[in-house]
Amino acid sequence: MTKRIGLYPGTFDPVTMGHYDIISRAMALVDRLVVAVAINRDKGPLFSLEERVSMIEQIGDDLREKHDCELVVVPFENLLVHCAREHNATVLIRGLRAVSDFEFEFQMVGMNRAIDPEIETMFLMADAEYQAIASRLVKEVCRLGGDVSRFVPPHVEVALKNKFKSKET
């Protein structure tokens, strides 16, 4: 039997409960899920690549107990379809929060299909509880002293607070 391998890419700066929701639901659909953490120097992430990979690995520990799915976390800096091929993924998992996400994603699907028509894209809508959560907003709320405990896993909340505390000194 052929393994169903999915790839869920993102910057994950930081990983949120919305990401957690999409990862969990994707794990129920595939036999192996590769979470690909984009290096993306242009975005100027708050957390280093190693920190972002580690944060996802920690939520992976929890999710591996809930799903019969192998979860792998890898960094990537090349084309998404090339990363998918490197990991034998045949489906790209993309999370959508709002209609505004769809236009960009629609263009991305077209480009990816032109490069490699054998790789499918599957969209998962974030649970309604998490649709307003964006990493950019979570960082801003935390930086300004707000409570982000509903938006990120506990270890990420601690990392955010520590990151902003160290920036103050």
Active site (catalytic) residues: 19, 43, 97, 135
State the DSSP H helix or E strand holding residue 34, giving kind and residue range, or none if neither.
Answer: strand 32-38
Are 163 and 48 a contacting pair, CB within 8 Å? Answer: no
DSSP state of 75: E
For 147: left if phi > 0, alpha if psi spans -120 to 50, otherwise beta; the answer is beta
Are 70 and 31 a contacting pair, CB within 8 Å? Answer: yes
